Amino acid sequence: MNSRQIRKMVLTAMFACLSFVLCTFVYFPAMAPFQHFVNVIAAVFIGPWYGMLAAFLCGVLRMMSGRTIMSVLGAIFGALLAGLFYRRTHRFWSLILGELIGTGIISAILCYYPMKYIYGMDLQSPFYYIPFFAPASFVGACLGVAVLLMLRRSGVMKRMLSMLGEEEEPRQ
């Protein structure tokens, strides 16, 4: 295992822990905007697969602290799509779009089935969670992009990406 992989694994664990702590202290019913905040930052620094792993680990930690399966399902698809979209375009708006589609739509629809059939909730439509997930993912992704813009403006982002072996600087 090379040092680049080790750094990405350490950052994955750090992003998972940061997300868990932020989601624990700032909680809204059926919303976790700071999960999405961390997802977009992780997408830039560690990529889609490690970002998805960080979201999964945070979701498992949140489930262990009493939350439902929505903790896992509500985060992993947004992290994956934000990372994949960003990898393709290297633009910050793609992070918001990926997080919004992945979490706000795909995860919201997928959460319906376990919540209805495993947890026995009386939900009327697979689209039930979209009004909760979409605003939270949009707000969290926008906050994450704001932090990334500050990091880029200060020059910290370029140094961090070079330490991780990443070449390309994000475009506007």
The more confident residue out of 31 and 8 is 8
Bin 120: left if φ > 0, else alpha if -120 < ψ < 50, else beta: left
Give the pLDDT of residue 123.
86
Per-residue pLDDT of 31-83, as tens digits, reads: 778 999 999 999 999 999 999 999 999 999 999 988 888 888 888 999 999 99
31 phi and psi, to 5 degrees?
Answer: -135, 140
Q: Angle 130-154/33-45 helices, nearest 10 degrees?
A: 40
For residue 171, pLDDT over 70 is answered with: no
For residue 25, pLDDT over 70 is answered with: yes
Per-residue pLDDT of 79-135, as tens digits, reads: 999 999 999 999 999 999 999 999 999 999 999 999 989 888 888 899 999 998 999
Q: Angle 108-117/130-154 helices, nearest 10 degrees?
A: 140
pTM of the model: 0.90
Q: Which of 13, 12, 30 is nearest to 107 (CA)?
A: 30
Domain 3-163 has CATH 3.30.390.10: no
What is the rounded average pLDDT of the residues 10-32? 86
The SS3 of residue 118 is coil
For residue 10, pLDDT over 90 is answered with: yes
The more confident residue out of 4 and 49 is 49
Per DSSP, 168 falls in state P
Q: Which of 29, 30, 52, 42 is nearest to 104 (CA)?
A: 30
